[in-house]
Amino acid sequence: MNIAQDRMSSPSVQTLPQPYLLFLGDVTEAAYAKTAFGLRDWAGDRCIGELSCGGGTVTTGLPRLTPKQAHSLGARALVIGVANTGGFIQDNWIPSLVEALESGLDIISGMHARLEGTPALKAAAERHGRNLINVRTPPRDIPIASGSKRTGKRLLTVGTDCALGKKYTALALARAFEQRGVDVDFRATGQTGILIAGGGMPMDAVVADFAAGAAEMLSPDAPVQHWDVVEGQGSLLHPAYAGVSLALLHGSQPDVFVVCHEPGRECILGHPEFPLPSLEDTIDLTLRLGGRTNPAIRCAGISLNTASLDEDAARAMLDKESARLGMPVADPMRGGLEFERLVDACLA
Amino acid sequence: MNIAQDRMSSPSVQTLPQPYLLFLGDVTEAAYAKTAFGLRDWAGDRCIGELSCGGGTVTTGLPRLTPKQAHSLGARALVIGVANTGGFIQDNWIPSLVEALESGLDIISGMHARLEGTPALKAAAERHGRNLINVRTPPRDIPIASGSKRTGKRLLTVGTDCALGKKYTALALARAFEQRGVDVDFRATGQTGILIAGGGMPMDAVVADFAAGAAEMLSPDAPVQHWDVVEGQGSLLHPAYAGVSLALLHGSQPDVFVVCHEPGRECILGHPEFPLPSLEDTIDLTLRLGGRTNPAIRCAGISLNTASLDEDAARAMLDKESARLGMPVADPMRGGLEFERLVDACLA
């Protein structure tokens, strides 16, 4: 889809140097390389190749390139596409990362540890005039939200909980909009989404008073027919993150929202004493609170994460929920007629 | 009231050195010394005296003392009790502030500018082993909220808007609780409240993901009969600050809330296109959202800021609103039977 750098009209919303060389470190299990696979799947046209080190065996299937080869093929940054449990830069990664800086690539990280906290990287970046980019760092000049209505159309994915498909749903909807010829931008609010989009706003790292302002900054005034599809965060009924979700809802002022949910999940992840809110409750609350900054807000339908069901059970579940709620219910990862109906309802 | 340092059981919730010497700078208009007057009115027992400089003419009525005199009378910190429009340390204040550090006092500021940003203060503090304390800086080790129910009772003041009496209402209720023999702490969430209480949590400066965790940290487990009276922030229907308000509501998990409102205010301050939410809507929304972390939450009544009305009109307004809403409605600044009824309802 369209990663319109020029429409990121506020110069301060993070925009990343692209295309990427994906760094896979020394990992031997694909589960540790989710960021790299997410980039391959959703930003494959902006990934030139991959680079491993040590005994790394995981591959994305992209060409294996040295940093110098990648640079000559157009790469502008190496992205750390793997995670370890500590979220830190491993010593055995450093030679490859320094080689990337020497070859003219910036380095981008979504890890907790800041890149410049590793002295060898800081020195090499300074020596070669390259940038070390931590996508978890928000811009400095975020304003207090104004609440003023902006031009263009906006869609926000909201959730009954964390980690059940808000990012994938937003990416799939943005891609579907584009396939229908709609002028659309995916607007990322978390580190993986930001790496995929090449820019965005790390909502979880913004100071609370500025969170709604950050959401306003992320989807600025746009042409009347243009859509911003904004990646949701958390849930309005999450005991820890609801404040972020509400600030994102108010600042995004969506015309349309899609509720993301995982059937079978009974409690908030990591909070077993909090039952998952119902879809109806989530819709009602989102309408009520979102109506404050966009009185025309409406729910287009539901995105169900049916990964744990087989095809027949999944289709039956989508049909049943659609009939029960009286609105489109789809699993964007399965596509199909249900998903086309959801896209229709979003654009209606 | 009780500023129980020992019950600030998490060592990281900011606690301030007290008593104070109030610094009035060179101001000649009382409006610029609101912090000093707030401290005199609500923390008078912890204010030793005042200090002006240059041609300053404003007085709180407290004894005028040199820093050395204040220190010998027990003062432990000089508080910058005035504000200028830029929120900065003026050059002509510096000799007095350095003298305070030399005399053994720490310096406390609620201004935007950080004290150590003024080189002369940084050097003097280092030379004399004193602390420069910026109350707008949150602690470093705020956890993600757990949502777990804590022991003890909690009251939160909530608002239809900013700047209409949430802090004063919380202070007045905490004072009234204490006068009835209740074990109570006022829990501050903004810089003026923090200066008054001698500690607290600057909610507006916490990173969004940690805002509910910060609110949990502020009112830790306490004895069953103990009350924390928490200063509210913003409004759940404020286009810029609702996220902070919701995080504070979820993290405070109040048993009781009091809605603060200013009759006659028609729009959100600074946002003329946003009509003020009704009292009924604010009560309903607070019950619904607050019920997530405390299903027993209830509204005890309303605090009306009737400062713009004369005594007869104010009493008539309180009676009328109480009859209309079927609950106690009082102006804590006027006290009287209405306020006693509100206190009764809080403790019921």
The pLDDT of residue B8 is above 50: no
Beta-carbon contacts of residue A212 (< 8 Å; ≥ 6 apart):
A144, A145, A247, A248, A250, A251, B239, B240, B241, B242, B243
Q: Which residues pair with B237 in a beta bridge?
A: none
Report the distance separating Cα A191 and Cα A205, nearest Å.
10
Dihedral angle over CA of B157, B158, B160, B161, nearest 10:
90
Tokens of A273: 């004493």
- pLDDT tens figures, A193-217: 999 999 999 998 999 999 999 999 9
Which residues of A, range 198-217, sit inside 8 Å of B by Cβ?
Answer: 203-209, 211-213
Q: Measured between alpha carbons, how far is B24 from B26 in angstroms, rounded to an integer?
A: 6
Looking at residue B2, its pLDDT comes to 41
Q: Cα separation of B86 and B83, whole Å?
A: 8
Q: Whole-model pTM?
A: 0.93
Say if residue A220 is preceded by a cis peptide, omega within 30 of 0: no
Residue B232 pLDDT: 98
Structure tokens at A327: 């609105």
Cα angle at B332 between B331 and B335, to 5 degrees? 90
Q: Quick check: A158 contacting B, CB < 8 Å?
A: no
Mark whether B175 and B255 lie in a shared domain: yes
List CB contacts (< 8 A) between A148 and chain B.
273
Hey, how many other C-beta atoms are within 10 angstroms of the C-beta on A80? 21
Mean confidence (pLDDT) of chain A: 94
Give the mean model confidence (pLDDT) for residues B183-203: 95
Nearest to A292 among B148, B209, B239 (CB): B239
Q: For residue B270, what is the nearest residue in chain A, using CA coordinates?
A: A146
Domain containing residue A184:
153-347
**Cβ contact B242:B162 at 8 Å:** no
Same domain, A159 and A304: yes
Q: Which of B204, B207, B217, B267 would you mutate first to test chain A, the one with the most A CBs within 10 A?
A: B207
| One domain for residues A63 and A169 | no
Strand B267-268 to strand B271-275: parallel, antiparallel, or no bridges (unpaired)?
antiparallel
Q: Tell me, yes or no, whether B37 lies in a domain.
A: yes
Last residue of a domain, which of B134, B164, B197? B134
pLDDT of residue B97: 98
Q: Is the CB of residue A294 less than 8 Å from the CB of residue A255?
A: yes
Q: How far apart are CA A331 and CA A277, in angstroms?
A: 19
For tokens 């301060």, the residue is A12
Residue B334: is its pLDDT beyond 70? Answer: yes
Could you give the CA distance from residue A250 to residue A212 in angstroms, rounded to a whole number?
6
**Residue among A147, A242, A268 minimizing CB distance to B247:** A242
**Which chain A residues are within 8 Å of B280, Cβ to Cβ?**
none
Residues B271-281 as b or e (16 or more Cβ within 10 Å = b) = beebebbebee
Residue B73 to chain A, least CA–CA distance (Å): 39
Give pLDDT tens digits for A211-254. Answer: 999 999 999 999 999 999 999 999 999 999 999 999 999 999 99
Q: Which of A209, A251, A248, A139 is closest to B191 using CA atoms?
A: A209
Work out the burial of residue B113: count CB atoms within 10 Å of its CB; fewer than 13 is exposed, 13-18 middle, 19 or more buried. middle
| More confident call, B4 vs A81 | A81
Contact at 8 Å (CB) between B133 and B97? no
Residues B267 and B207 in one domain: yes
When mean pLDDT is compared across B85-94, B199-208, B233-242, B325-334, the lowest value belongs to B85-94
Q: Establish if A269 touches chain B: CB-CB under 8 angstroms.
A: no
Q: What is the pLDDT of residues B37-74, one digit of tens each?
A: 999 999 999 999 999 998 999 999 999 999 999 999 99
State the amino acid at position B296 in one-letter form.
Answer: A
Do both B126 and B159 map to the same domain? no
Does residue A30 have a pLDDT over 70? yes
- Is the CB of B4 inside 8 Å of chain A's CB atoms? no
Q: What backbone phi and psi angles, to 5 degrees, belong to A27?
A: -75, 150
Which residues of chain B are within 8 Å of residue A240 when distances are taken between CB atoms?
144-147, 209, 212-213, 250
Amino acid letter for position A245: S
Question: What CATH number did the domain enclosing B239 receive?
Answer: 3.40.50.300
Q: Distance, in angstroms, between A211 CA and closest chain B CA?
A: 7
Q: What is the mean pLDDT of residues A35-57?
A: 95
Please check the confidence at residue B14 and state whether its pLDDT lies above 90: no
Q: What is the ipTM of this complex?
A: 0.92
Give dist(CA A2, CA A152) in Å, integer: 15
Which of A243, A245, A264 minimizes the C-alpha distance to A254? Answer: A245
End-to-end CA distance of chain A: 20
* For residues A121-145, average pLDDT: 95
Judge whether B45 lies within some domain: yes
Do B238 and B308 sit in the same domain of this protein?
yes
Asked if residue A21 has pLDDT above 60, the reply is yes
CA proximity to A304, closest of A275, A270, A338? A338
Instruction: Work out the pLDDT band at B13, boundaries 50, 70, 90.
Output: low
Do B185 and B218 lie in one domain? The reply is yes
Per-residue pLDDT averaged across B142-163, rounded? Answer: 96
Same-domain check for residues A127 and A165: no
- Does one domain contain both B36 and B128? yes
- The CATH number of whichever domain residue A92 belongs to comes to 3.40.50.720
Percentage of chain A beyond pLDDT 70 is 96
pLDDT, residue A13, reads 67
| Domain edge (last residue) among A134, A162, A196 | A134
- Residue A116 pLDDT > 90: yes
A94/A118 Cα distance (integer angstroms): 9
- Of A164, A156, A248, A253, the closest CA to residue A206 belongs to A248
Is B55 among the domain residues?
yes
Interface contact B208-A271, CB threshold 8 A: no
Flag whether A1 is in a domain: no
Q: Distance from B278 to chain A by nearest Cα, in Å? A: 13
Name the CA dihedral angle for A52, A54, A57, A61, rounded to a multiple of 10 degrees: 10
Q: Work out the angle at residue A256's Cα, subtended by the Cα atoms of residues A254 and A261, and round it to the nearest 5 degrees.
A: 105
Q: Do B212 and A240 touch (CB under 8 A)?
A: yes
Distance CA B291, CA A331 (A): 31
Size of interface A-B (CB pairs under 8 A): 122
Residue A295 touches chain B, beta carbons under 8 Å:
no
Element (H, E) at A272: strand A271-275
Q: Is residue A146 part of a domain?
A: no
| Co-location of A53 and A128 in the same domain | yes
Query: Smallest Cα–Cα separation from A285: which of A239, A348, A236, A340?
Result: A236
By CA distance, what is B236's nearest residue in A? A289
Question: Are residues A222 and A79 located together in one domain of the fold?
Answer: no
Q: Pick from B147, B208, B289: which is nearest to A207 by CB?
A: B208
Residue B338 confidence (pLDDT) above 80: yes
Chain B hits for A147, CB-CB cut-off 8 Å, are 239-240, 268, 271, 273-274
Question: Domain boundary residue among B134, B166, B187?
Answer: B134
In a domain, residue B327? The reply is yes
B289 touches chain A (CB under 8 A): yes
Nearest-CA residue of chain B relative to A250?
Answer: B239
Whether A99 shows a pLDDT value over 80: the answer reads: yes
**Is A186:A43 a contact under the CB 8 Å cutoff?**
no
Please tell me the total count of domains within chain B: 2
Q: What is the 3-state secondary structure (H, E, C) of chain B?
A: CCCCHHHCCCCCCEECCCCEEEEEECCCCHHHHHHHHHHHHHHHHHEEEEEECCCCCCCCCCCECCHHHHHHCCCCEEEECCCCCCCCCCHHHHHHHHHHHHCCCEEEECCCCCHHHCHHHHHHHHHHCCCEEECCCCCCCCCCCCCCCCCCEEEEEEECCCCCCHHHHHHHHHHHHHHCCCCEEEECCCHHHHHHHCEECCHHHCEHHHHHHHHHHHCCCCCCCCEEEECCCCCCCCCCCHHHHHHHHHHHCCCEEEEEECCCCCEECCEEEEECCCHHHHHHHHHHHHCCCCCCCEEEEEEECCCCCCHHHHHHHHHHHHHHHCCCEECCCCCHHHHHHHHHHHHC
Tell me, yes or no, whether A290 lies in a domain: yes
Percent of chain A with pLDDT over 90: 90
Q: How far B292 CA sits from the closest chain A CA (Å)? A: 7
Q: Are residues A119 and A180 in the same domain?
A: no
Q: How confident is the model at residue A5 (pLDDT cuts 50, 70, 90)?
A: very low
Asked if A207 lies within 8 A of B203 by C-beta distance, the reply is no
B253: left (phi over 0), alpha (psi -120 to 50) or beta: left
Cβ distance of A239 and B292 shorter than 8 Å: yes
Average pLDDT score over chain B: 94
Amino acid, single-letter form, for residue A204: D
Q: What is the mean pLDDT of residues A155-168?
A: 96
Q: Exposed/middle/buried for A333, CB within 10 Å: 0-12, 13-18, 19+?
A: middle
Nearest to B60, CA basis, from B85, B37, B31: B37
Q: Report how far residue A193's alpha carbon sits from residue A1's, in angstroms, rounded to the nearest whole number.
A: 13
- Contact of A154 with A248, CB cutoff 8 Å: no
Note whether residue B75 is domain-resident.
yes
